[in-house]
Amino acid sequence: MARSTTRWQWLGLLASLVLGDGCRSRSPTSLPATPTTAAATTDARLTPGTTPLTPPPVSAEPTGSAPPREPDGEEASSAPPTLPPMQQVVPLPSPFPESALVVTPLVHQSPVVLFPEESLAIRRRVAKQLRAHGWRVADVAKIEAIEAAAARKTLVLEDGQTCRAPLRPDEVHTRYFARSPRADAIATCLDGCELHVNIADPKDEDVSDTFVGGRVRAPHDPRSWARVRLRSPRLGVMGGVVGGVVMSSHPPPIMFQDLVPIGPWDSPPQGPPRGLPASLSSCAHPDPSIGLDWDLRLAVASDGAVSRCTASSSHTQARPRDGACLCRHLETLRFEAGKPGRRLRTGAIDDRTLGPDHDAIVLRQPGTEPWVTRVQQAMPLSHCIRTVGATPPLDAVAALWLAPDGTVEDVQLQGDISTLPAMKFAACLTGRLRTIALPCRPPGVDVLQLGIQLPSRDR
């Protein structure tokens, strides 16, 4: 036993000299670090009274069917840590009857341009018409109030619990309405412009209908969408996406899609926005590991000036200040004078990065998909690949201890981390995972577990 211990002690000493504390940042609420040797499992969770974790001994004994013996003394202290039991999400009770239909936020596909208050009005109109068709529908105004508070990091259904990160509507739905039937409304223009409402019930596969509104004659006018009358269900109807080809109007990190006009244009603009100030690059996300898309909607006044612009992104790392920056630059555009009611739609790509995080960070606990997505989109693996350099293969499980507000308090990474490059990468990864802002922890889960499956690669 002495030979294996000596090997790990020397390796641990070498790792401590190389690594230092640079990649082992701790959250303010985590416990103070305890001196320890480098371990085959990088473990950042040390509780009072526990023994610092050390790697498993290297055994020269043949394996066989003999029953395992009890470890003794030094061997017991070097046994690998065990992961906590896998926890399951426990859906919180909905404030509405479970059979009530939840109408989700309106989706409007290009070239449709609707501003936030217009989308809300259509969403409420859809709920009213579904009630007229005999459906039991949850109160949309109350759902909107829950979503608006969650977007301000407050959970009104949980005694005002505050979260470290704001929640998106889909995260609110996962938290409270995952067992409720839902109605997804889509404003689309494919073969003519129509409003589609797709209904599905997670508890009953037979409930899957689509209501379709009549043709929208003036799709640039939000009042035309609000006046749509939903017809009887029609199965198998799907909306389509119409958009421009992605083109670059500026050097990276910001690239624009073609402008897509709608409304009474005499000479619709062609191609992506042009002539924007060079300061556009200041609208990019500061982390070069993160790439994301923005959806931008513009209204054009009679004199050709941009009278309104909104920016939205489904990416969890999108910063509102960057969307506002994009709009400030687009508002410098000038078009030809013309009729009122003209609108435009375009997209911006912020240095789209093809890192390994989406495929390499794997779901382990069903129901935690929104939290896993946030970890993936924070690109912790890409950050450490860029920081550390050569990347060893890694097949591990990361356990993240979450505070009620979603703060990552501690991290344990368990896997075959027995080489110095693997230890260095793992130390960076555990430190990076602690910095990710998550919404309030999943109900019923205070330890989020993720699979990490990273093949070997060099920078």
DSSP letter (8 states) at residue 257: B
CATH number of 102-226: 3.40.50
Q: Please tell me the predicted confidence (pLDDT) of residue 163.
A: 97
The two tokens of residue 440 are 């309030």
Instruction: With cut-offs at 50, 70 and 90, classify the pLDDT of residue 244.
Output: very low
Q: Which CATH architecture has domain 254-350?
A: 2-Layer Sandwich (3.30)
Q: What is the rounded average pLDDT of the residues 350-371?
A: 86
DSSP state of 170: H
More confident residue, 273 or 56: 273
Q: Residue 37: is its pLDDT beyond 80?
A: no
Question: Would you state the pLDDT for residue 209?
Answer: 78
Q: Which of 38-47, 86-95, 209-218 has the lowest mean pLDDT?
A: 38-47
Question: What one-character DSSP code corresponds to residue 449?
Answer: E
Residue ranges per domain, the chain?
2-59+71-82+354-454, 102-226, 254-350
pLDDT of residue 337 exceeding 80, the answer is yes
pLDDT band at 241 (very low <50, low <70, confident <90, very high): very low
Q: Residue range 154-182: average pLDDT?
A: 94
Q: 264 pLDDT band (50/70/90 cuts)?
A: very high
Half-sphere exposure of 228 (CA within 13 A, CB side): 34
Q: What mean pLDDT comes out for the span 396-412?
A: 96
Share of the chain above pLDDT 90, in %: 55
Q: Which two tokens stand for residue 362?
A: 């794997």
For residue 41, what pLDDT band results from cuts at 50, 70 and 90? very low
State phi, psi for 381 to the nearest 5 degrees: -65, -45
Average pLDDT over residues 246-257: 58
**pLDDT over 70 for what percent of the chain?**
75
Size of the chain in residues: 459
Q: How far apart are CA 136 and CA 127, in angstroms?
A: 9
Q: Which residue has the higher pLDDT, 302 or 205?
A: 302
DSSP at 21: T
Of the pLDDT bands very low, low, confident and very high (cuts 50, 70, 90), residue 30 is very low
> Do 16 and 392 meet the contact criterion of CB atoms below 8 Å apart?
no
pLDDT value at 397 more than 70: yes
In angstroms, the CA 346 to CA 273 distance is 8
Instruction: Please provide the average confidence, as pLDDT, over all residues in the chain.
Output: 79
